[in-house]
Structure 1
Amino acid sequence: MYIIDGIAYASQKMQETFVTAVKPLDDMMMIVTFGSGEKRLYDASQLLDFPAFQPLKDETVFMNAKVEYGVVTWADGEIDIAPETMYENSYEYQ
């Protein structure tokens, strides 16, 4: 249980998910480091199903991924993906 602004919640407070580092790899794979320190392997090729991510087909664009304010971005922030989405669709990496 936790309390925010005088309201008691029965569940556990969820930890905020954010990215601290990203390393693009070949074949649209990425090693993503989250705020918890956990590293996960993310397959970004699934993003190509959506029109907004079509520029990532260009390897130069994809390989220039960076982290801005806890979010992975490309093309000077024109393209981004929610860290929660990356976490939920990635695999543990050691």
Structure 2
Amino acid sequence: MIWVTEAKALPDFRLWVRFSDGMAGEIDLKDFIAADSRPIVAALRNPRTFSVLRVDMDAAVWDNGFDLAPEFLHAQAKAQATA
């Protein structure tokens, strides 16, 4: 099982994330956030809201309560590293 051990919001709707398996990298979430119409995700289009991020349990969590599963972030980090 993979979990997030560190996460930091970066400019332009990117995250830097480190995982329990030692993998670390940047993840671009701009398209994901732009395409998701749920109000909880739409709120993250505000750079100030996006920038307030923490690790809670094993996931990246924003102050508005939205979280992304570690498995999703890990897959995104892998895919974007090879793109």
State how many pairs are aligned: 76
Distance 2:43 2:32 in 1: 10
Higher share in strand: 1
The Cα RMSD (Å) is 1.3
Q: Normalised by the size of structure 2, how large is the TM-score? A: 0.82
Larger relative CO (CA 8 A, sep 6+): 1 or 2? Answer: 2
* Percent of aligned pairs sharing the same letter: 22
Match of 1:64 in 2: 52
Contact 1:31 1:39 in 2 (8 A): yes
Tell me which structure has the larger Cα radius of gyration.
1
Classify the secondary structure of the residue corresponding to 1:33.
strand
Structure 2 stretches lacking a partner, 5+ long: none
Structure 1 stretches lacking a partner, 5+ long: 1-15
Q: Which runs of 4+ in 1 moved over 3 A?
A: none
Q: Normalised by the size of structure 1, how large is the TM-score? A: 0.73
